[in-house]
Amino acid sequence: MGKITDRYAIVGVGESERSRNSGTTPLHMALDAARSALKDSGLNAQDVDGFMSYNENDSCTSHELATYLGVRPKYVKDIHGGGSSTEMLIGDAVGLIEAGILNTVLIFRSMNGSSGQRVGRGYDPDMLQGALPGGSYIIPYGSASPSQWFGMFATRHMHETGITKEHLGHVCTSFYEHAGRNPKAFLHAKPLTMEKYMDTPDISYPFNIHDSCLELDEANAIIVTSAERARDCMSKPVYIMGMSARQCHPHAHYWSDLDQVASDFVAPKVYESAGVKPEDIQVASIYDCFSWVVLRQLEAYGFAPRGEVGNFVAEGNLRMGGKLPTNTAGGMLSEGYTHGMNNVLEIVRQIRHEYKGTDRQVEGCEIGICTGWSGPDIAGAMILRN
Amino acid sequence: MEYQKPIPLKNQDNSPYWDAADRHELTLQRCDSCHEYAHPPGPSCAKCGSTDLSWVSIGDDVKATIYSYVVSYRPFLPGFQDELPLIIAQAELEKVPEVKIMCNVLECKPEDIQIGMPVQMIWQDIAEDRALPQWKPVDE
């Protein structure tokens, strides 16, 4: 892909209701989210000729979604994926539009993540042994939950950099504070103090329940098109300045080279492709399946030097008025959970200044970063502008 | 009582490791081209792609230090419910520090586990013909 800066835009975002028990199927929720994104953009369903989605065998297909929007699309694509997949599919959409194959792409993630197949609860042990690379070296030792996998990475990094449990708490309390201003956040009415955080027993040390993302029933959708076509849309386009993605580490659970996470490779590339530096970023959506993941990414993306990331969050820099207001709707820790897509919706709304005049708006933010992370092995990121 | 926890499933790529474990011996895959160890083992080297692979015996007296850990307070798999809190750790091998083996640290209180702690491999017999490599703290 050549230089794409400012030539593509996100023109619509939308979501379904979020709940612990939707009482409906991922297809119904995906339709709600897609219709909401279409309404936001002012486009008709027939204007969309590409549909894409990612899932963990827990969703409907892009073809089903298109069918029940009454569209016969040129192209559908469903990938197996979680964190980072939103950014990677946006990259694919841009490539296909650039090649002249498609005009406008709708990307969605829909999952009954609480009432259906639940990530944090673990899976059938024998299925997991076969499904995970090196699974026979993990499952017999009782390690089957993401909180245990990510915790293993976190403990080592915390040991090396001096990050403490209280630093993890600052990530959580900052995001819960944002959820307190967002009536649609699932934990809107569940404020979290540092005292309460520190008193909460661990699930998998170093993590307690607040360090872990919510598991909810929810769908999100976004619409990507060219800057040219974006002018015909009803919404204020948010332009893509740059993107990058990377897969590394053959076996994430055997993180033998701790100094290397995929975000470290993605960071210089995403800044280079957007033509900006970390200090130009005014608002952030940082993938937050667990609190610690935010800290490691702040380090990777150059917002604070290694060893100083704990202080950076303790100084309140993730909060409104801080140096880098982050996950301003509450993030996956306290707003909702769609493997990262809800964080994309929020940064688009911030950069559009959709909350103008309220205490939720990051004042005058023009440039934002959105990151995806699926472990030390996979990362994707994009930089967006007004 | 019969062993309730998941038993390591042998397959085409890992069976030399688990066959050796059943004999109370640690065996690791190594690449003959780039000389890197490949753990977990695979059909070819994950570092360079070479198919020239050998199995190297590390023996039955294996020492390591704790590289990282979690203390798990919930059973996410069957069989672990009576052994909480459970220490799940990565052991960095003394002889091959680039290899980290995921394990449980037995005979260790959660408040005592720490990174850098020396541990010794022990062999837990889990079925008539199966054994699981585990670790315990080294007596000072």
Can A8-117+216-230 and A144-214+238-386 be said to share one CATH topology? yes
CA distance A133 to chain B (A): 8
- At residue B140, the pLDDT reads 63
Q: Work out the percent of chain B whose per-residue pLDDT is above 70.
A: 99
- Could you tell me the pTM of the whole model? 0.96
Chain B residues close to A202, C-beta within 8 Å: 71, 73
Mutate to test the interface with B, among A137, A150, A249 (most CBs of B within 10 A): A137
Question: How far is A103 from A107, CA to CA, in rounded Å?
Answer: 13
CB A57 within 8 A of CB A117: yes
Please determine, looking at this structure, whether the domain spanning B61-140 carries the CATH number 2.40.50. yes
Residue B9's pLDDT band (cuts 50, 70, 90):
very high
Per-window interface: B 47-66 vs A, CB < 8 A: none
Q: Which of 3.90.79.10, 3.20.20.80, 3.40.47.10, 3.30.420.140 would CATH assign to domain A8-117+216-230? A: 3.40.47.10
Which CATH number does A144-214+238-386 carry? Answer: 3.40.47.10
> ∠ CA B68-B72-B75 to the nearest 5 degrees?
140
Question: How far is A306 from A263, CA to CA, in rounded Å?
Answer: 14
Helix, strand, or coil here: B126?
Answer: strand
Integer CA distances (angstroms), A11 to A39, A216, A225, A233, A273, in order: 10, 26, 7, 7, 21
Q: Residue A195: is it exposed, middle or buried by C-beta count within 10 angstroms (0-12/13-18/19+)?
A: exposed
Q: Give domain limits for chain B.
A: 10-60, 61-140
- At residue B2, the pLDDT reads 83
Chain A residues close to B90, C-beta within 8 Å: 152, 156, 254-255
User: Which stretches does DSSP call E strand in B15-114?
Assistant: 26-31, 37-38, 53-59, 63-72, 86-93, 100-104
CB B3 within 8 A of CB B16: no
Please give the residue of chain A at the shortest CA–CA distance from B89: A152
> How many CA atoms are closer than 13 Å to the CA of A219, on its beta-carbon side?
28
Would the pLDDT of B50 be above 80? yes
Query: If you search the block for the tokens 């089957």, which residue do you land on?
Result: A144
> Which residue among A54, A176, A301, A337 is the active-site one?
A337
Residue A319 main-chain phi, psi, to 5 deg: -85, 170
- At residue A24, the pLDDT reads 97
Is there a catalytic annotation at residue A287? Answer: yes
- At residue A88, the pLDDT reads 95
Query: If you search the block for the tokens 């052991």, which residue do you land on?
Result: B91
- Stretches in chain A below the pLDDT threshold 50: none
- At residue A13, the pLDDT reads 98
| Tens-place pLDDT, residues B78-129 | 999 999 999 999 999 999 999 999 999 999 999 999 999 999 999 999 999 9
- At residue A3, the pLDDT reads 87
- At residue A249, the pLDDT reads 79
* H runs (alpha helix) in A194-351: 194-199, 227-230, 262-274, 291-300, 309-314, 331-334, 341-351
Question: How far is B63 from A351, CA to CA, in rounded Å?
Answer: 54
- At residue A106, the pLDDT reads 98
- Averaged pLDDT score across all residues of chain B: 95
> How many CA atoms are closer than 13 Å to the CA of A158, on its beta-carbon side?
24
| Tens-place pLDDT, residues B34-48 | 999 999 999 999 889
Cis peptide bond prior to A201, omega within 30° of 0? no
Residue A296 main-chain phi, psi, to 5 deg: -65, -35
- At residue A123, the pLDDT reads 64
Q: Give domain limits for chain A.
A: 8-117+216-230, 144-214+238-386
Which tokens is A226 given?
């060219």
Chain A residues close to B5, C-beta within 8 Å: 140, 142
